Structure 1
Amino acid sequence: MALDIQTVPCLEDNYAYILRDAETGKVAVVDAPEAGPLIEALEARGLGLDLLLITHHHPDHIDGTAELRAKYGCEVWGGKADAHRLPPLDRALEEGDDIAVGASTGKVLDVSGHTVGHIAFHFAGSDAVFSADSLMAMGCGRLFEGDGPMMQTTMEKFLNMPDSTIVYSGHEYTQSNMKFALTIESQNADMLARATRIDSARERGQPTVPSSLAEEKATNPFLRAHVQSVKDAVGLPDGSDAEVFTEVRRRKDNF
């Protein structure tokens, strides 16, 4: 049975997620930008909180941790490589570790690049990956700590997931990401169609996250460094995927 997943907007443009396992009633949250909206969302559904999963150490993903732990007594799990700069962890996670929310099981992925030690949570049985600031809708996180080859390795992990996977990322950055993506592949029909949908959704105040991995593979330039049209567009027709990714990221940083 798949997880029931609720998107919770936090801060100015962050997203956190409530995961409920229908079989057991166990509840987890992915990231805690702030406690208030998550407590409100949990209480509206009459839910407690058993587990908080943390993706990386940035304050806009962990600042609500202490308040949630104090209120619910939840366990806090996060990356072992990040443990020295995370709130105290009940379990330190590494790539390949199994995790469970009740009867719903997932895997931990190392998705370093945005930060070194960033992790994601892939629940294949629910067609869900919680990628935070690694893979984002039509983009990827700025490389504050990693480099292009490292982040290209991360992107390849997402490319290897089924198209049916839904990407639950950390921010509402899609519209600005889309504007940049169109500078790389201005004639990409999938991208042009998605741009229309994104603009329409934002005009109505609707979120553009989560997104489908099929859509990301077709329109996200950071997942397309292996595509010849992208290599050509950045002037690296014979470049390696890592070289092309690095050039796309450089252009985004200066966009």
Structure 2
Amino acid sequence: MSRTGSNQTPNRDAEMEFTSVVGTALRPVTSRLGEIQQRLDSIAANIQNNTVAAHEGMLQSHLRPLRDGQTEIVAEISQRLTPLNNNIDTLRSQIITTNQCLDELGRSLQAARDDVVNAQHAALVKFCQSYNVSCGLGFIHTFKIIPFVGADGTSQLPSAFGLPLLLNTCVINNLTDHQLNQYMERYGIQVETNRSTQLSKLREFIGCMPPDDFTSYGVAIFPFLIGGLPYLSFLFVAALVSGCGSWILMSL
């Protein structure tokens, strides 16, 4: 019996010691759990106090002035927009007027440009005509070519349109009816039904001396005379060398 009692005493002491150790170890954990519980209670209280219902009155008090002043704000905005709309209408009218002025200025500039181009072309025509008058029939000194002027004001030689250049009267007289009509139209000369009349007007336009100032015989033999002058000069020199020169001079 005494042995059994002695065995139970150490076991009880060990159990008490274990309980004491566990209690000591769990005491900080229990303390922390208490602190966490207090914080959770505080958070729950704050959540309960910060509900929409709790702040509904405050929100309504802040929104009421905005709601009441909405009509006044809209009216004030409309009042301030009215001058801006009037200014926009005025600016739009000014833009339309400015565009009209620019269009008119563009037309005036185009007309002035056309006048300058026409004046330049007229001066060129006068120059060529004055020069061509002194060229006779154009066999020794060829005629200056009067260019065509397009609708855009650019100048082009007749050769660009497949037409022969009017360098002398032979070229003019040998023009086909189609070529002659092309020259008349592009030079702005009135087209006639009579070919000889058209040739006369074309010669007059380029400054060629009218054929009426020459006899038809002179016009026909003029190229041959020009071509035969070197041959006649050679014969005259040969006659002088052969001793017949004095006889030729006496006969003249």
Superposition TM-score, scaled by structure 1 size: 0.18
Superposition TM-score, scaled by structure 2 size: 0.18
Query: Which of 1 and 2 has greater Rg?
Result: 2
Counting helix residues as a fraction of each chain, which structure ranks higher? 2
Ranked by relative contact order (alpha carbons within 8 Å, sequence separation 6 or more), the top structure is 1
Counting strand residues as a fraction of each chain, which structure ranks higher? 1
